[in-house]
Amino acid sequence: MRKIVLAVVLLALSAGPAGAEFPDKPLKIIVPFPAGRVTDLVARIVGDGLRAKFNQPVVVENRPGASGLIGMDALLKAVPDGYTLLVGGLGSHGIPPAVVPNYPYDVNKDFTALAMVTEFVNVLVVNKDLPAANPMEFVAYAKARPGQLNYGLTSIGASNHMTAELFMLRTGTKIVGVPFGQSGNPIVMLRANDVQVIFENLPTVIGHIKSGAIKALAVTSPYRTEQLPAVPTMQESGFPDFSVTSWIGMYGPGTMPSDRAKVLGDAILAIAREPAAQEKLKAAGFEPSPRSGADYAKFQAGEVERWKGVVKAANIKAQ
């Protein structure tokens, strides 16, 4: 009898204070990339929303390295109680599983997709002195100089790398990839003409485009972006089968309780739909694109398969 009573007491203690609602203590959002990058910006907007909704502190912790794997590993090693979350997207849960053989995680099972928050486009940007005013002129310029132009990439499998590979597949051009690394500055390299073209995330380059420091030829999405309404899409520019958008959402571990996943997913989705949050996202160069956890999971699985096709066609080998 004493054992039964003790077990009941321990169960009650583990459940927390009587009547306590989840979450009733601070939350943590792990960012698997450096501070100031696109995932970090989204994590802080979501963190502000969760802090206001639940009246609990939210800590944003950057754990960069190994193309996102260090931060992802930190989430999966944390207690799966819903108090530790991860921000991720195309650069962690979309392209790497398609590029890296024996990728250490099954992103569709090891993580719980809570909600998609936003997407953003890559922009075809070139050195401001390069003599091309649109993608067609750039393709002609590149075809006349096979292997003589360079494009910048963060790392093998990064969105700027994969978008460039897709561009070369679709246009028959040959441009040489030059890594600038996780901490390198693509704008400095582009302005110095060390690279002549980059397919870079819009939030990273929008200020430099508007200042005239670099030249935008097209956005990679199937729609024009509100932030650069005069810049055409690749599809409008004569490449109907070219479309790339990057995306970011929130995750928990795959083993987290389903009821807590629903609480967090509903909250994050509501935050992503708030006009104030959407204005912040737009101001930073994002396109608000909220999706429920179920829709996000389905979308992500399709993106992994899509990029596997690009990897095979371009014969990309992870390093």
Q: Tell me: the pLDDT tens digits for 213-227?
A: 999 999 999 999 988
Q: Tell me: the pLDDT tens digits for 20-51?
A: 699 999 999 999 988 888 899 999 999 999 99
**pLDDT of 152:** 93
Q: CA–CA distance from 304 to each of 35, 42, 202, 297 (Å)?
A: 26, 22, 22, 11
**pLDDT of 58:** 98
**pLDDT of 262:** 97
Identify whether the C-beta of residue 223 lies closer than 8 Å to the C-beta of residue 233.
yes
**pLDDT of 19:** 45
**pLDDT of 20:** 66
Q: How many whole angstroms separate alpha carbon 251 and alpha carbon 273?
A: 18
* pLDDT < 50: residue spans in the chain: 1-19
**pLDDT of 15:** 43
- Give the domain ranges of the chain: 26-118+246-314, 121-219
SS (H, E, C) the chain: CHHHHHHHHHHHHHCCCCCCCCCCCCEEEEECCCCCCHHHHHHHHHHHHHHHHHCCCEEEEECCCHHHHHHHHHHHHCCCCCCEEEEEEHHHHHCHHHHCCCCCCCCCCCEEEEEEEEEEEEEEEEECCCCCCCHHHHHHHHHCCCCCCEEEECCCCCHHHHHHHHHHHHHCCCCEEEECCCCCCHHHHHHCCCCCEEEEEHHHHHHHHHHCCEEEEEECCCCCCCCCCCCCECCCCCCCCCCCEEEEEEEEECCCCHHHHHHHHHHHHHHHHCHHHHHHHHHCCCEEEEEEHHHHHHHHHHHHHHHHHHHHHHCCCCC
Q: How many whole angstroms separate alpha carbon 82 and alpha carbon 29?
A: 10
Give the list of residues 6+ apart from residue 26 with CB closer than 8 angstroms, or none: 56, 57, 58, 59, 83
pTM over 0.85: no
**pLDDT of 159:** 86
Q: Between 3.40.50.620, 3.50.30.10, 3.40.190.10, 3.40.50.2000, what CATH number should domain 121-219 receive?
A: 3.40.190.10
CATH superfamily of 26-118+246-314: Bordetella uptake gene, domain 1 (3.40.190.150)
Identify whether the C-beta of residue 145 lies closer than 8 Å to the C-beta of residue 132.
no
Q: How many whole angstroms separate alpha carbon 231 and alpha carbon 136?
A: 14
